Amino acid sequence: MAARLALGALALLLVLAALTPLSASMDGTASEVPEFSVVPADDSTPAAVPERDEDLAFYDRVIERVAGGENYYDFVVAEQRSRDYPVRPGIAVRLPTLAYIHAWLGKPGMIALAVLLLAATIWAWWQRLGEEPGGQRVRILGTALMAMGGALGLNHYFFVLHELWAGMLIALAFGLHRPGKWRAALLAAALALAIREHALPFAGLMGAMAAWRRDWRETAAWAALVAVFFAAMAWHLALVAPQVSPADPASPPWLVLRGLGGWLGNVVLSSNLRFLPHEVAGPIVVLMLAGWAGWRSSAGTTGTLLYGGYALAFMLAGRANNYYWGAVVAPAMFIGLAFVPMALRSLWRSAFTPAAQNRPTP
CB count, 10 Å around CB of 227?
10
Q: Dihedral of the CA atoms 299, 302, 303, 305 (nearest 10)?
A: 160
Is the pLDDT score of 291 beyond 50? yes
CA distance 165 to 99: 12
Per-residue pLDDT band for 50 (boundaries 50, 70, 90) equals low
Determine which helix (DSSP H) or strand (DSSP E) holds 185, and give its type and residue range: helix 183-195
Q: Which pLDDT does position 320 carry in this prediction?
A: 84
Per-residue pLDDT tens digits for 345-358? 888 888 887 654 55
What is the average pLDDT score of the chain? 88
* Mean pLDDT, residues 82-94 taken together: 90
Q: Which pLDDT does position 24 carry in this prediction?
A: 62
- Provide the 3-class DSSP secondary structure of residue 196: coil
- Provide the 3-class DSSP secondary structure of residue 243: helix
Is the pLDDT score of 34 beyond 80? no
CA distance 150 to 329: 10
Query: Regarding predicted confidence, which is higher, 50 or 1?
Result: 1
Its pTM stands at 0.89
Per-residue pLDDT tens digits for 105-161? 999 999 999 999 999 999 999 999 999 999 999 999 999 999 999 999 999 989 999
CA distance 72 to 141: 43
Q: What percent of the chain has pLDDT over 70?
A: 90
Q: Which pLDDT does position 180 carry in this prediction?
A: 86
Q: Which pLDDT does position 3 carry in this prediction?
A: 82
CA distance 286 to 272: 16
Determine which helix (DSSP H) or strand (DSSP E) holds 99, and give its type and residue range: helix 97-131
CA distance 161 to 55: 9
Per-residue pLDDT tens digits for 218-240? 999 999 999 999 999 999 999 99
| AA identity, residue 294 | G
Per-residue pLDDT tens digits for 292-325? 999 999 999 999 999 999 999 999 998 888 889 9
CA distance 164 to 307: 16
